[in-house]
Amino acid sequence: MSNNGLLKSSLAKKYLMALTGLFLCTFLLGHLAGNLQLFISGGEGQQAFNEYAEFMTTFPLVKILSYLTYASVLFHIVDGIVLTMRNRKSRPVGYVKEKGSANASWSSRNMGILGTIIAVFLVSHMQTFWYKMHFGAMPMHEGLKDLHTVVLAFFSPENSLGLIAVVGYVLAQLALSFHLVHGFQSGFQSLGLRHPKYTPVIEKTGYLFGIGVPLLFASIPVFLYITQL
């Protein structure tokens, strides 16, 4: 088998899925660290968050990471669609009666649907904040683009869609949570990283990561909405 055979093989598609997925997990950690500054109140929090946003859009190393992130999202989605379509083709006639819950977790059976929810969220999320920050008209504060004010205004009772935005955000994080509870440890298995001693640790970490990270993300818009009531 030649080496371009590797790229065509089902396992290579799995490696790509795992590498992009696990890379996106590290992205989530970085993104979360920045967002948590929204918990700091008053002018101090505004300054800290805006400086972080400025840093994220201009610092060269971060720029490289952000391009890697865009590429990962893209490849993860395209690869996910290719794999899901191939899997459908592998069982053209389904079962009349199938008891999926008897042998596999709900998350593991619904990665495609969960991913699609995350993708829909990503589009709206990037339109609201990323696009505005990069290309839109932004208010200024102390010489910096004032993303802080934009975020607060978006998740605010003053915004007619504010409550919907908060609820949508929380639901998307719920989907992300289910996606990660299966995906985190699944990524390691796809790469062949399994060991009697370390796999239980990876599984526990995946659980904590998959619940903790989306929970912290989700708590931010809820906090912003309630404190602005």
Contact positions vs ligand HEM (CB under 6 A): 14, 17-18, 21-22, 24-25, 28, 76-77, 80, 83-84, 111-112, 115-116, 118-119, 122, 179, 183-184, 186-187, 190
> Which one, 138 or 202, has the nearer CB to other proteins?
202
Length of the chain: 229
> Which one, 84 or 149, has the nearer CB to ligand HEM?
84
> Which one, 11 or 201, has the nearer CB to other proteins?
11
Judged by CB under 8 A, the chain residues 155 through 194 that form the site for other proteins are: 182, 185-186, 189-194
Name the residue type at position 135.
Answer: F
Nearest distance in Å: CB 13, other proteins: 6
> Which one, 87 or 124, has the nearer CB to other proteins?
87
Helix segments in 91-191, DSSP class H: 106-109, 111-125, 131-135, 147-154, 162-190
Nearest distance in Å: CB 18, ligand HEM: 3
Cα separation of 135 and 124, whole Å? 15
Judged by CB under 8 A, the chain residues 89 through 118 that form the site for other proteins are: 89-100, 102-105, 108-109, 111
Rounded to the nearest 10 degrees, the angle between the axes of helix 111-125 and helix 60-90 is: 140
Name which of 137, 148, 132 is nearest 47 in CA terms: 148
CB-count exposure of residue 81 (10 Å: 0-12, 13-18, 19+) = middle
Is the Cβ–Cβ distance between 214 and 184 less than 8 Å?
no
> Which one, 52 or 217, has the nearer CB to ligand HEM?
217
Nearest distance in Å: CB 120, other proteins: 21
- Residue 25's binding partner among ligand HEM, other proteins, none (Cβ under 5 to 8 angstroms by kind) is ligand HEM
Residues sharing a CB contact under 8 Å with residue 116, sequence separation 6 or more, in sequence order:
none
Phi, psi dihedral angles at 104 (to 5 degrees): -150, 150
* Contact footprint for other proteins (CB under 8 A): 1, 3, 5-6, 8-15, 83, 86-87, 89-100, 102-105, 108-109, 111, 182, 185-186, 189-194, 196
